[in-house]
Amino acid sequence: GENVEQHPSTLSVQEGDSAVIKCTYSDSASNYFPWYKQELGKRPQLIIDIRSNVGEKKDQRIAVTLNKTAKHFSLHITETQPEDSAVYFCAASILGILTGGGNKLTFGTGTQLKVEL
């Protein structure tokens, strides 16, 4: 099955700096790579995702890049703010009607991001 590794486990940055979180996956058939943000005591929420036919996707201050050859993808947060402090999870899955099984995500172990004033 799929295995997703995520680094670093903790990341501390100064407000206004950039943060980068990296993930690798093992199954070359995976084609969907989302990032979830989980604030303390809250549910995980999708912040951005990317499909395997796209190399980069951006949404305001966050961006995700994908290298299919190397099987790794990264989350980039620019101009970090205190409200970006949370745990971020990457995930991977094979998404498509033909799989018949919904979207069975395999998650990384999470990165605790702390944005310091």
Footprint of another protein on this chain (CB under 8 A)? 1, 4, 6, 9, 32, 34, 42-46, 49, 89, 93, 95-97, 100-110
Work out how close the CB of 100 gets to another protein at its nearest, in angstroms, rounded to a whole number. 7
Work out how close the CB of 65 gets to another protein at its nearest, in angstroms, rounded to a whole number. 18
Residue number, 33 or 77, with CB nearest to another protein:
33
Work out how close the CB of 77 gets to another protein at its nearest, in angstroms, rounded to a whole number. 19
Beta bridge partners of 111: 88
Instruction: Burial-class residue 34 by CB neighbours within 10 Å (0-12, 13-18, 19+).
Output: buried
Residue number, 1 or 60, with CB nearest to another protein:
1
Q: Are 64 and 73 in contact (CB under 8 A)?
A: yes
CA angle 16, 59, 90 (to 5 degrees): 85
The 10 Å Cβ neighbour count of residue 47 is 18
Work out how close the CB of 12 gets to another protein at its nearest, in angstroms, rounded to a whole number. 17
